[in-house]
Structure 1
Amino acid sequence: METGTSGGARGGADGPGWVGLPVGLLTMRRLLLVMWAALSAIGTGVLLGLLAGPAWAAFAVVWVAPAAWCWVLLGRNWRSWRYAERADDLLISRGVMWRQETVVPYGRMQLVEVTSGPLERRFGLATVQLHTAAATTDATIPGLVPAEAERLRDRLTELGEARSAGL
């Protein structure tokens, strides 16, 4: 069974305590993949069956290979996302081939939002979005459990207010 943690406790002596994303995000994304692949296969099969004949409708299975490849890629992408709360900033790391690590200092945060669309709510997920003065340092942590998203929002807001008091 896949878990969402990729590190130990928060802020250990060896470095930041990385926290992975919940498995619910992977489940939601894979369900969407299967749904779209099935719809594409059905559409292709019906279209080919009507235009070229019933034998050609079998070519609808061509959607299986890309869907299987995307299934694997979604798992790798999900495992690559993690975040860590440090004393002065928040680290967000993601990416498989091109690793991207974003450092957001608490004192630079202007707004912390928790959003949850209809599909995310159905799967019990929420997204935390951090806004700073520089548009390039805005960061997002998708697929968190709502309680963790709210805890993170409150903590980041509290730390942001404390760190920006001297500016």
Structure 2
Amino acid sequence: MNRIELPQTGEWRRVSPKLVAVELVAGAVFLLAVSAVGVGLWYLGVGWLAIGLWAVALVALINLAFTPRRVRAIGYQLRDDDLLFRRGIMWQRFVAVPYGRMQLVDINRGPIARGLGLSELKFVTAAAAAGVTIPGLPEAEADELRDHLVLLAESRRAGL
């Protein structure tokens, strides 16, 4: 298996392990909803559609099994000129967001994540495909990282 080799310019920072709980709760709610609709359709006599929904539920259950590993694969690295973000197990994604190209740094906190003290940090650039979202950051770390990135972005844009 070939791995993407990147220059080691800093330490990878991982997201909080509490993100596993957030992902598991969201996945379990989806799984229960799909299963309940499948049971309802079965009793209404639409068995073929119920079987299709149960197949979706099976895929969701398999997805839940991989959640802890998928969360461990998420990380970011603050480099000299950009923020490098990674995620994915089989299909790995690496995105480098130059500090000078950041237009917006946004923090979102959903109800489950907020209850566990987690935030989601989103970076928006001029290129829509280059938007990056880092889930599962502790609230204090997300606030500190947002402020740091805004300062870096302003200083880098001023130098353009």
- Which range, TM-score by smaller chain? 0.7 to 0.9
Paired residue for 1:98, among 91, 94, 119?
91
For CA contacts below 8 A with separation 6 or more, give which structure has more relative contact order: 2
Counterpart Cα distance in 2 of 1:130 and 1:118: 21
Q: 5+ residue gaps in structure 2?
A: 1-6, 47-53
- Alpha carbon RMSD of aligned pairs, Å? 2.7
Percentage of matched positions with identical amino acids = 36
Larger radius of gyration: 1
Q: 1:137 and 2:130 equivalent?
A: yes
- Judging changes above 3 Å, is the alpha-carbon distance between structure 1 residues 69 and 130 closer, same or farther for their aligned structure 2 residues? same
Match of 2:20 in 1: 26
**2:73 touches 2:86 (CA, 8 Å); kept in 1?**
yes
TM (normalized to structure 1)?
A: 0.74
Aligned length, in residue pairs: 149
Q: 1:115 and 2:108 equivalent?
A: yes
Q: 5+ residue gaps in structure 1?
A: 1-12, 53-60
What SS is found at the alignment partner of 1:113?
strand
Question: C-alpha deviations, 1:77-122, integer Å up to 9, x for none?
Answer: 2122110111211000111222111001111111111121333322
Counterpart Cα distance in 1 of 2:128 and 2:71: 25
Matched letter for residue 143 of structure 2: E
TM (normalized to structure 2)?
A: 0.77
Paired residue for 2:155, among 152, 158, 162?
162
Matched letter for residue 82 of structure 2: D
- Judging changes above 3 Å, is the alpha-carbon distance between structure 1 residues 46 and 29 closer, same or farther for their aligned structure 2 residues? same
